[in-house]
Chain A
Amino acid sequence: MRDTRGHTRKPGLRLWLSGGWITVLVLAALLAPWISPHDPLAQDLFAGRMPPFWQAGADPNYLLGTDSLGRDVLSRILHGARLALTVALIAGVLTCLIGATLGLIAGYYGGWADLVISRLVDIWMAFPPVLFAILLIAVLGTGMTSIIIAIVVIDWTRFARVIRAEAMSQSKMDYVASAQVVGRSRLGTALTEILPNVLPTIVALLTLEMGIAVIVEAILSFVNLSISTDAPTWGGMIAEGRTSVHQAWWVLVFPLVALFLTVLSFSQLGEGLKDHFDPVLR
């Protein structure tokens, strides 16, 4: 993960494409109530299962068609982006803060702190994550806060492990010893010497985590453990679309494409940013 020297150094396409899609998504989420052609919850049973605009029998009012209850797919995707992005942002940042802090402590301070944190991570990772999430939601009750808590509780280990290893290898570098030679405190060294050097990894992981959060939210929606069932979520739409995939494939495919592009963009954005901010690679 560290040695990306061999990569071509075009800051261009990857960053632009992934950043572009995320920007479009953020705008869609922010402006959803104004740009949606329809109310995402409004049902029109006479206009059920309308195909997308390029197919025969389409209604130009419903660009991406309608589901079995006659709800506009495009509007539901736009509103679904709100939940997806909110969860991605909050859960991603919280996971990152908790996991990276513990990883930095374990990797840099070592000794007892490392022993305790590493064992905790080992134990944590022995739980099957999806089951753990479902269990947590069952206990906490459904709702956006529960989803976020579930993601943070399950996924902090990802950060802790990677950042611990990274901080450990950085601690062996002589610039850490040289900070001690001039009398920088342990905490000061961790924050001003080591943290900047693990930051690119943290950023890459953070965006990856945002993608994962979107998927977890979709999975929980898929098994009906997200927010209320008729609220527009991508996972919920995929679950509904699955039942009628032979009659109305578009109900399944469009939210799936949105989900796929979003997760892909997040991970590519992370890698792109990492390369872009690394002075050695620039």
Chain B
Amino acid sequence: MSDVIYDVKDLRLSFPDMSRKPILGPAPRIEILKGLTFQIPKGEVLGIVGGSGSGKSTLGRALIRLIEPDSGQIDFEGTDITHMGEDDLRPLRRRFQMIFQDPLSSLNPRRRVGGIIAGPLRLQGLEGIDARVNEALDMVGLPRSFASRYPHELSGGQRQRVGIARAIALRPDFILADEIVSGLDVSSQAQVLNLLEELVRELGLTLAFISHDLSVIRRLCSRILVLYQGEIVENAATADLFAAPTAPYTQELLSAIPLPDPDQVWV
């Protein structure tokens, strides 16, 4: 039990479909997640991959309880958080954090970088905030002087580092990274991925990395969860999945990766 950080059983989630809502009565619901069951062991870097509309972001947001599932169960380190209220969740929130896709949207434009990183620390009542902010900036490789800058004054890669700094400053056990490099150019992508890899190793983090890009996932993750239309079609170790994909959808995904050398053996 202790080496599993997330234990998810038969997770189901649906949204009301307002475009087909009748004038009277409730809107019909669209099932986004159709009964997912999986575990995330401690220290693992799990890749969650799938096309758009496959429910991967919804799954991520359910894991850190930004949205409440309809049914099923999510256990975080043995605690059932499936339907927990916001007040009960608050002390737990320090332990699972999230890095968002678009840092320009996820960093409040009216706060300086220092304030953005310090906000969560203050909220969770931690001591020595200035030192922790500086430490977080050091860890993501940003100069300490950046604390007094506004997000719009930074480059895309630097902004995403601020997003990472905010998440790790709380020293969480688990981090959800939702498409965090898809808005960056290739060299910034590589830098951010290297940084993330390093942090996972240094801090002993468990990471769930959501992406639609299998080549990014391959480089970072030890295990891969393939979602297709709200269902898990494959859950395998990275090497196995690339060597012998079982699900037809996975095979399709793999063949869609642009290759520098088309004669790679694992195709």
Contact surface of A with B, Cβ cutoff 8 Å: 173-175, 177-186, 188, 192-193, 196-197, 279-280
Contact = CB atoms under 8 A, between A and B. Distances in A.
Interface in B51-96: 64, 66, 86, 89-91, 93-94
15 contacts: A174-B106, A175-B108, A175-B109, A177-B66, A178-B100, A178-B106, A180-B66, A182-B124, A182-B170, A183-B91, A183-B94, A183-B120, A183-B123, A183-B124, A188-B123
A192 B116 CA distance: 12
Contacts of A179: 119
A2 B92 CA distance: 37
B35 to A, nearest CB: 25
B181 to A, nearest CB: 16
B224 interface: no
Interface string B93-123: 1100110111001111111000000011001
B109 A182 contact: no
A279 B150 contact: yes
Interface residues of B, number: 28
A116 B193 CA distance: 47
A175 B66 contact: no
The 4 A-B residue pairs with the shortest CB-CB distance, nearest first, are A174-B106, A182-B120, A183-B93, A183-B90
B21 interface: no
Given A177-B66, A178-B166, A180-B66, A193 B108 contact: yes
B152 interface: yes
Contact of A280 (B66, B90, B105, B150): B150
Given A181-B64, A182-B120, A174 B102 contact: yes
A275 to B, nearest CB: 14
A263 B95 CA distance: 54
Contact of A279 (B64, B66, B109, B123): B109
A182 B108 CA distance: 14
A239 to B, nearest CB: 46
A278 B28 CA distance: 42
Nearest to B153: A279
Contacts of B150: 279-280
Nearest to A200: B110
Nearest to A279: B150
Nearest to B89: A183
Given A182-B123, A185-B86, A173 B93 contact: no
Contacts of A188: 123
Contact of B105 (A174, A184, A192, A279): A174
Contacts of A186: 86
A66 B68 CA distance: 73
A197 B105 CA distance: 12
A188 B66 CA distance: 16
B238 to A, nearest CB: 27
Contacts of A196: 108, 110-111
Contact of B106 (A177, A184, A279): A177
B107 to A, nearest CB: 6
A184 B66 CA distance: 12
A186 B150 CA distance: 24
Contacts of B100: 174, 177-178
Contacts of B170: 182
B65 to A, nearest CB: 9
Contacts of B106: 173-175, 177-178
A9 B56 CA distance: 43
A137 B86 CA distance: 48
A82 B102 CA distance: 51
A196 B120 CA distance: 17
B128 to A, nearest CB: 18
Contacts of A175: 105-109
A185 B98 CA distance: 17
A186 B89 CA distance: 13
Contact of B66 (A181, A192, A197): A181
A197 B106 CA distance: 13
Contacts of B108: 175, 193, 196-197
A148 to B, nearest CB: 32
B98 A181 contact: yes
Contacts of B93: 181-183
A279 B102 contact: no
A180 B107 CA distance: 13
Contacts of A180: 66, 86
Contact of B152 (A178, A182, A184, A280): A280
